[in-house]
Structure 1
Amino acid sequence: MTRTVQCKVLGREAEGLDEAPWPGELGQRIYENISAEAWNDWLQRLQMIVNENQLSTADPESIALIERHMLGFLFEEGDLGGLPAGFRTGRGKK
């Protein structure tokens, strides 16, 4: 049976993730509150963030910035999470 969550991003019930996609408390919070569809939307946004900011996932400062964007995108917390100026997307958050 498929696990569902009340997704904070989509604002509706949707299929949940199979496991926590990130370590620690944040990963557990994502697992409990974010749908697989919204997580896939985040992964697309993450690719843009990494490329635009030339981030390295091996750099602790880059990981911290990624987490700030993640909190903004998934939970509308903090000052990040939106699209960079001049970017548009066909679906999901702007």
Structure 2
Amino acid sequence: MTRIVNCVKLGVATEGLDEPPFPGDKGMEIFENVSKQAWKDWLGKQTMLINEYKLASFDPKARSFLADERRKFLFEGNNEMPEGYVPPKD
């Protein structure tokens, strides 16, 4: 059965995630308030940020940076791109 959430990112009631994306309070907050589509959009943005800034997943500063960017993207409506970012050509 499809679970519906009122997605804070998209501003509509739509299909929610099947499970929290990670353990803890933040994972539960995302599970309860973010749609599958918004989470997919975030994963794309996260990949772009990792590539643009050459981040290492094991670096605590990189993890903190990504957590902050995730909060801004999903809950604050911020979708700014890194300075000088040029999207890939199709």
Give TM-score, length-normalised by structure 1: 0.83
Distance 2:86 2:4 in 1: 29
Distance 1:84 1:44 in 2: 14
Q: CA RMSD in A?
A: 1.9
Larger radius of gyration: 2
Runs (5+) with no aligned partner, structure 1: 90-94
Runs (5+) with no aligned partner, structure 2: none
Of all paired residues, the percent bearing the same amino acid is 43
Distance 2:86 2:10 in 1: 18
The alignment partner of 2:10 has SS state of: coil
Label 1:31 to 1:88 Cα distance change in 2 as closer, same or farther (>3 A).
Answer: farther
Partner of 2:76: 76
Bigger relative CO (Cα 8 Å, ≥ 6 apart): 2
Deviation at residue 59 of structure 1 after TM alignment: 1.2
Aligned residues: 87
Deviation at residue 86 of structure 1 after TM alignment: 4.5
